[in-house]
Amino acid sequence: MQSQYIAQNKDRFLSELFEILRIPSISADKAFLGDLRKTAEYVRDKMIAAGAENVVLEETAGNPIVYGDKIFDPSLPTVLVYGHYDVQPSVPDELWTTPAFEPTVRDGKIYARGACDDKGQMYMHLKAFETMMQTNSLACNVKFMIEGEEEVGSTNLGIYVVTNKEKLKADVILISDTGMIANDIPSIDVGLRGLSYVEVEVTGPNRDLHSGVYGGAVANPINILCTMIASMHDENRHITIPGFYDDVNVISEADRKALNSAPFILENYTKDLEIEDVMGEKGYTTLERTGIRPTFEVNGIWGGYIGEGAKTVLPSKAYAKISMRLIPNQKSAAITKLFSDYFISIAPKGVKVKVTPHHGGEAAITPTDSIAFKAASKAIEATYGKAPIPTFGGGSIPIVALFEKELGVKTVLMGFGLDSDAIHSPNEHYGLFNYYKGIETIPYFYKYFAEMMK
Ligand code: BES
Ligand code: MN
Ligand code: MN
């Protein structure tokens, strides 16, 4: 029944996704505020059309949250679906084969910003819900909470959650905003890393200087910034910030073994990225480096002359944006302070350093022995023909730790993307296979969860 309904409505499910993908809902840039609202309204309208009740745009100090629910039998368990309709900036636009906000199907994949992260995955939930409503098979109560600020730290959602605990009461939080190992190797993420994000500004002389007249005699803020950043890792690629690892729990050999038993072929990994070899913290495998170890990465660095041709100038200022991925027990605010104090302390005389913290978030581990996890496993097994492997995706969804803290509800990360989907990159895409497989799998989760909760 459900698969028939999905098959009959396949084309519309795709054209509706295309419509939402056309709206440039970039939350990092104020110029797109109107588009974020338009996207929220689109989600709201489609939520109503699918059969949800009490659908509203919850106003916040930022972009609206779309809430809706269908509570038809209080004796049944309630699933709280979370997703986000905002996306990352599309720059550099010239690297996209087709424009970021003109969705196009090529080789069985939908190319567009947000195709996978997270519009495509979020929208699967609305279409799965519509399918269950239309086939009279909705097995759980459902609440939807779709926000528009995930890519900028979910600050306003945090406030909303804290002030709406009763309204958001649920037995499980279901999120499709992560990935799988491969389409023939299903997996479920069981951990998210925390994040500390900072911007640094290094100021040298009070103005740009002639690099011949002053060069060699005055601190060049770009040179200094590069030296300071380079010193943040030692020869084993450990992070040198004093105290950085103090709260890192030792992982047991058994857990390490389990983590490393996930299929991973280094040769395919390096080939895909066109790199000769991987590089990371000594003593850890690639899966460990991305899954359960903290990191320090420069996300952007700029300053001085970057126009055409050559300009001989010793710049007054240099900047960098830096993200640190954190693991459970490390605290984002504490790490930001450790970094900030240390970075300022290592600056030589001749430059001034300013550190501006951006958003942060705590890591989260999702249980694998819960009913919800088992229901998700069974759902994936039903549609993929194989039980999913627990994995660590490496990314962050800071609101997950907050859900647990404030609502006391655990999350299942039933993601359908792939690492190769190029999320946050040019040519982001999402397989048609994955989109439809998600819509097909989600109703099984509801069914098994309801059955197992009895
Ligand atoms: N969907 C991602 C998180 C993700 C991706 C988790 C892949 C696991 C695997 C999410 O939209 C995201 O990009 N989060 C940001 C953090 C946020 C605070 C900006 C991230 O991880 O950089
Ligand atoms: Mn996402
Ligand atoms: Mn993202």
Contact 360 CB / ligand 1 (< 6 Å): no
What φ, ψ does residue 322 adopt, rounded to 5°? Answer: -130, 135
Contact 398 CB / ligand 1 (< 6 Å): yes
392 has pLDDT over 90: yes
Listed in sequence order, the residues at least 6 apart from 235 whose beta carbon sits closer than 8 Å to its beta carbon are none
**Mean pLDDT of all residues in the chain?**
97
**Measured in whole angstroms, how far is the alpha carbon of residue 167 from the centre of its chain?**
25
For residue 118, cis peptide bond before it (omega within 30 degrees of 0): yes
For residue 24, cis peptide bond before it (omega within 30 degrees of 0): no
Distance 84 CA to ligand 2 centre (A): 7
DSSP of 75-142: TS-EEEEEEE--B----SGGG-SS-TTS-EEETTEEESTTSSTTHHHHHHHHHHHHHHHHTT---SEE
Q: Which of 38, 36, 39 is nearest to 26 (CA)?
A: 36
| High-pLDDT (> 90) share of the chain, % | 98
Q: Residue 191's beta-bridge partner residues?
A: 365, 392
26 has pLDDT over 90: yes
Mean pLDDT of 378-400: 96
37 has pLDDT over 90: yes
Q: Which residues surround ligand 2, an ion (CB under 5 A)?
A: 117-118, 177
DSSP-derived letter for residue 173 is: E
Q: To test the ligand 1 pocket, which listed residue (181, 396, 414, 428) has its Cβ within 8 A of the most ligand atoms?
A: 396
236 has pLDDT over 90: yes
DSSP-derived letter for residue 182 is: B
Report d(CA 77, CA 69) in Å as an integer. 13
Q: Tell me how crowded residue 9 is: count the other CB atoms within 10 A of its CB.
A: 16
For the segment 86-142, what is each residue's pLDDT rounded down to a tens digit? Answer: 999 999 999 999 999 999 999 999 999 999 999 999 999 999 999 999 999 999 999
Q: To test the ligand 1 pocket, which listed residue (87, 113, 124, 150) has its Cβ within 8 A of the most ligand atoms?
A: 150
Distance 447 CA to ligand 1 centre (A): 28
The minimum-distance atom of ligand 1 relative to the CA of 197 is: 18
In which band, very low, low, confident or very high, does the pLDDT at 72 lie, cut at 50, 70 and 90? very high
Report d(CA 365, CA 330) in Å as an integer. 13
Q: To test the ligand 1 pocket, which listed residue (397, 402, 414) has its Cβ within 8 A of the most ligand atoms?
A: 397
In which band, very low, low, confident or very high, does the pLDDT at 327 lie, cut at 50, 70 and 90? very high
- List of domains in the chain: 2-192+364-453 (3.40.630.10), 194-248+294-361 (3.30.70.360)
Between the alpha carbon of residue 241 and those of residues 197, 395, 400, 431, the distances in Å are 15, 22, 27, 41
Distance 87 CA to ligand 3 centre (A): 7
